Amino acid sequence: MRLLGLTDWRSGRAVDLVLPQAVDSALIDETGAMSAGADRIDASGLVLAPALVDPHVHLRDPGQTDKEDMVTGAAAAAAGGYGLILLMPNTQPAMDGRARMADGRTVIDYLESYERDHGLHLPVDYALCVAATMGRAGRRASNPDDWSEHLPGHGWAHPVVAISDDGSAVTDQTLEAVAANARSVDLPTLDHCEHHEHGQVNLGAVSRQLGLGGIPASTETAIINRDIALAERTGTRVHLQHVSTAEGFEAVRRAKARGLPVTCETAPHYLALCDEDLLRCGSMAKMNPPLRSRADQQAALEAVADGTVDMIATDHAPHTAAEKALGLKDAPNGIIGLETAYAVCNQVLVTSGLISHDRLIELMSLAPAELMGMRRLLPEDLSSRKANTGHLQLEVDQRSEADQPPVDLVILDPEAKWEVDPSRFHSKARNTPFAGAELAGRVMATIKEGRLVFSRLPASRIVTRERNRAWTD
């Protein structure tokens, strides 16, 4: 398959991409155009970039597959342009390396062999984040003897690359032991940097208007400051998840200025929404940490612009419609984001002029991959030569060395306008605050390991015999 006239994400050059195999056997083809054996595609106006990487995903499998499972979650990721995702440990049982499922396996074993056991080739790669404490209960640090054999370098398809109790902050009583475990195997500690006992939404005018318990910014900054002190005291690599407050971003900014080993992420919803959107979206905009004030939203945008934020993660958190129908007080926290993240971020960050498109790709692909220690080949790493179209031709080599990083790419249309229709999501879940939103930027195709695994390219882009002469004359 040849995709002609793409724009390279970084250089802006016109390139043709040659794939050795037309489509993957597990291709998700929304339009049906690629399944018919299309050989040459007019990709002019589309951007070729490294596939997105999400360091913060909940697929609820095992334990809550009524909300999401590996198949639907992987499909949602591919549709969102992701080539690699990091699975959080709040599965049932917890992914702590010791707790056993009914069949006697650990969750790590279950996820490592999922594709083989189910006879599947999932359209996205995934790595694992082990629980920081036993059962994620916050009482005793998990034991590296239970999971260290699954670290990178041991030949696993889906290695353990981080440690976290996400869904909860690492407790004070286990923090030192957890950090020591992480340092002993050179893993980053990913911390859910927020802890509160009471409340449903951000403390402020909106919480008072709704008559709901408010969650102050201090519930976030207390954990951030504690974790920064840990990094300074011990040298632990600390990654702060879903930072949402102006005070939190400022604390990270100061830590970086001092050269501490601290990184952070924020999520698309903290960039695009604030607590005022609860009045419109209700429980579809309920998450933890909660949507903050408009001033906090502006601070998040500024933190992306000035480099305080290292990466953008979705915190994809599926729930059933029945659960979200319980209302703001009782509905569970969390929204889905894999299928809307690129468009939301492209609109609020790039279209607005806040950052460049190539900077967005760094935030959503290169930086998360670096955090996970899982390098991917970039388009500029591919072998190239001058094509008869006059473009630079990039070729994916089927004969690449086995230990070479994979070729995971995404084809984007940054100008495409579309309306979010949750009924068309590949995820099982529909809990998004962006339903009905008009967004700018669309994922058109995803390539995993050099094979097309997702496409919404229309039939009108297939190069016919007559159009082929126009490309080569």
For residues 50 and 430, what is the distance between their CA atoms, to the nearest angstrom? Answer: 27
Q: What type of residue is 259?
A: G
**pLDDT computed for residue 217 by the predictor:** 98
Say if residue 126's pLDDT is above 70: yes
Q: What is the pLDDT of residues 38-80, one digit of tens each?
A: 889 999 999 999 999 999 999 999 999 999 999 999 999 999 9
Say if residue 473's pLDDT is above 50: no
Compute the 3-state secondary structure of the chain and give helix, strand, coil in percent, each to the nearest 5. Answer: 30, 20, 45
Asked whether the beta carbons of 365 and 315 are under 8 A apart, the reply is: no
315 is catalytic: yes
In the three-class reduction of DSSP (H, G, I as helix; E, B as strand; rest coil), residue 266 is classed as strand
DSSP alpha helix (H) spans, 159-261:
175-184, 205-210, 218-234, 246-257
Q: How far is CA 347 from the centre of its chain?
A: 17
Q: What is the pLDDT of residues 287-340, one digit of tens each?
A: 999 999 999 999 999 999 999 999 999 999 999 999 999 999 999 999 999 999
Say if residue 399's pLDDT is above 60: no
For residues 392 and 14, what is the distance between their CA atoms, to the nearest angstrom? Answer: 7
How do 14-18 and 2-8 pair as beta strands?
A: antiparallel
Asked whether the beta carbons of 263 and 253 are under 8 A apart, the reply is: no
Token pair, residue 2, equals: 């040849």
Please state the rounded mean pLDDT for residues 190-219: 98
In the three-class reduction of DSSP (H, G, I as helix; E, B as strand; rest coil), residue 268 is classed as helix
For residues 470 and 278, what is the distance between their CA atoms, to the nearest angstrom? Answer: 52
In the three-class reduction of DSSP (H, G, I as helix; E, B as strand; rest coil), residue 138 is classed as coil
**pLDDT computed for residue 383 by the predictor:** 76
The predicted model scores a pTM of 0.96
Q: What percent of the chain has pLDDT over 70?
A: 95
Q: What type of residue is 394?
A: L
Catalytic residue of the set 8, 54, 296, 315: 315
Q: What is the pLDDT of residues 142-197, one digit of tens each?
A: 999 999 999 999 999 999 999 999 999 999 999 999 999 999 999 999 999 999 99
